[in-house]
Structure formats: structure tokens, C-alpha cells
Amino acid sequence: MNSVGEACTELKREYDQCFNRWFAEKFLKGESDGDPCGQLFKRYQLCVQKAIKEKDIPIEGLEFMGPSKGKAEDSS
């Protein structure tokens, strides 16, 4: 799947490959040490944010998950 910004598609592919490799080779085997794909994710995230602004995509009212967000509040 392509990214929201054409310029971000290659970064998305690189991040997806890194994450999938880490998930299969480390996380599923109980080795969840560190965040080997964090820098790739940050670069991709910045690219997507720029593309959203350039395309004037309205994002008001949307909640985003990510390292800067706290735990979700309990809705019960």
C-alpha cells in the first residue's frame, strides 16, 4: 500500500520491512529489546505530516497514536 504522500512511500516500505522483520524475528520470540525501527518511523511520520499539510487534508478532531501520546483513558 502506498503512503498518503508519494514521497513517503519508500520510507513506508522501509519502515514496514524493518517492523515486520523485528516482529517476526524478535518480538514473537520474546526478545522485545529496544526499538530498532524508531528512527525510520520518525522519518516516515514527519514525511506523512508534511504531505497532510501540503494536501490540505483536514485532521482536526482525530486522535493519533504514537510515542508522544499517553495511555488511553479507560472508557468504562
- What are the φ and ψ backbone dihedral angles of 11, each rounded to 5 degrees? -60, -40
Helices within 1-76 (DSSP H only): 9-25, 38-54
Instruction: Yes or no: say if 8 and 48 are a contact pair by the CB < 8 Å rule.
Output: yes
Q: What pLDDT is recorded for position 16?
A: 94
- What are the φ and ψ backbone dihedral angles of 26, each rounded to 5 degrees? -120, -65
Is 14 a residue whose pLDDT tops 50?
yes
pLDDT digits (tens, 9 = 90+) for 23-74: 999 999 998 778 899 999 999 999 998 988 888 877 776 666 555 544 444 4
Taking the model in full, what pTM does it have?
Answer: 0.70
Instruction: Yes or no: say if 7 and 53 are a contact pair by the CB < 8 Å rule.
Output: no
Q: Where are the domains of the chain?
A: 6-55
Maximum CA pair distance of the chain?
42
Q: What pLDDT is recorded for position 67?
A: 53
Q: What pLDDT is recorded for position 55?
A: 82
